[in-house]
Structure 1
Amino acid sequence: MAKMVLLAQYLSINANALAEYCNKAELSVEVEEKDITSYASLGWKEVLGGLKSAELACEFKQDFAATKLDSIMWPLLGTVVPFEVRADQAAVGASNPKYTGSILIKGWNPLEGSVGDDASAKMSFPTSGVVTRAVA
C-alpha cells in the first residue's frame, strides 16, 4: 500500500491559489442515509443513499497586506465561488487527482487567537452543487 505525507497541498478558491496561506485543507463528502426498512426486511434495517453533500475545511495563516489573504477572502463573503483542492501542487494525474466544485463563503474569521498565538483563521465552507474528481 502506498503511503503519503502531505507536504504541498494545492488549494484554490475563486481562482486564487492559496497554498502559501493554508496549512490544512480537508474535503469531506457524505451521502444522507435514508431508512427504507419495511416489514419485509425481517427485522433488519435497510438503507439507501440520499442527497450528497460536502464541506471544505481550511486553516489559514492570516495576511492583511494589500492583495493578500484577507483582501482576497473578505469580498467573497456571502457568495458561491469555485474551488479546487488536491494532495500535491504537482500536475493533476492518476496519483494526484483534483477535486473541484463550488463553495459558499458563509463566513470569514479575520481575527482569531490569543496573546502569543499566530494569526490564523479556521474556516469551513459548505459545497453548493456537484463535487467532481478528475485525474486529467
Structure 2
Amino acid sequence: MAKMVLLAEYVSLNGVDLSDSTRKAEVSVEVEDKDVTTYASLGWKELLGGLKSGELALEFLQDVAATKIDSIMWPLLGQVVPFEVRLSNATVGTSNPKYTGSILINGWNPIEGSVGDEASVSVSYPTSGAVTRATA
C-alpha cells in the first residue's frame, strides 16, 4: 500500500476553489445501525444498515479581504451548496478520487482564537443527499 503526505488537497465549495484558504479537510460518512434482533437470534445482536449521512469538516485561514474566505462564506449561510474534495489538486483518476455532494452551510465563525493565534476558522457541515466517490 502506498503512503502519502497531504501536500496539495483540493477543496471546492459552491464551485469556488478554496484550496488556498484551507489547511484541513475531512470528509466522513456513516450508516446508522438498526437493531433487528429477535428471539431467533439466539442471544446475538443482529444489525441492518439504516440511513446514511456525512459531514465535511474544514479549517480555513481567515481572510476578510473583499474576495477572500469570509466574503465567500458569509453569503452562503443557510444554503445547500455543492462540494468537491480530493487528496491532491492533480487530475481526478484511480489514484486521486474525488468525493462530491452537497452540504448545508449551517454556521460560520468569523472571529475565533486567542491572543497570538493565527486567524483561523473551523467549521463542520452536514451533507444533504448522497456523497459520491468518482475516479473520472
Residue 116 of structure 1 aligns to a residue whose secondary structure is coil
Cα distance, 1:66 vs. partner? 0.6
Q: Which runs of 5 or more structure 2 residues have no equivalent in the other structure?
A: none
Deviation per CA, 1:47-73, whole angstroms, max 9, x where unpaired? 010000000000000010011110000
One-letter code aligned to 1:115: V
* Map of 1:109 onto structure 2: 109
TM-score (norm 2): 0.99
Match of 2:60 in 1: 60
Structure 1 residue 4 corresponds to structure 2 residue 1: no
- Does residue 21 of structure 1 match 2:17? no
Residue 13 of structure 1: how far off its partner (Å): 0.3
The aligned runs of 1:32-71 (5 Å cut-off) are: 32-71=32-71
Structure 1: which 5+ residue stretches go unaligned?
none
Query: How many pairs were matched up?
Result: 136
Identity of counterpart residues, as a percentage?
74
Query: TM-score, with normalisation over the residues of structure 1?
Result: 0.99
Partners of 1:85 and 1:126 lie apart in 2 by: 15
Partner of 1:131: 131
Opposite residue 12 of structure 1, the aligned amino acid is S
Aligned-partner Cα distance in 2 for 1:130–1:20:
26
Give 4+ residue runs of structure 1 displaced > 6 Å after superposition: none
Residue in 2 that maps onto 1:86: 86
Q: CA deviation at 1:16?
A: 0.7
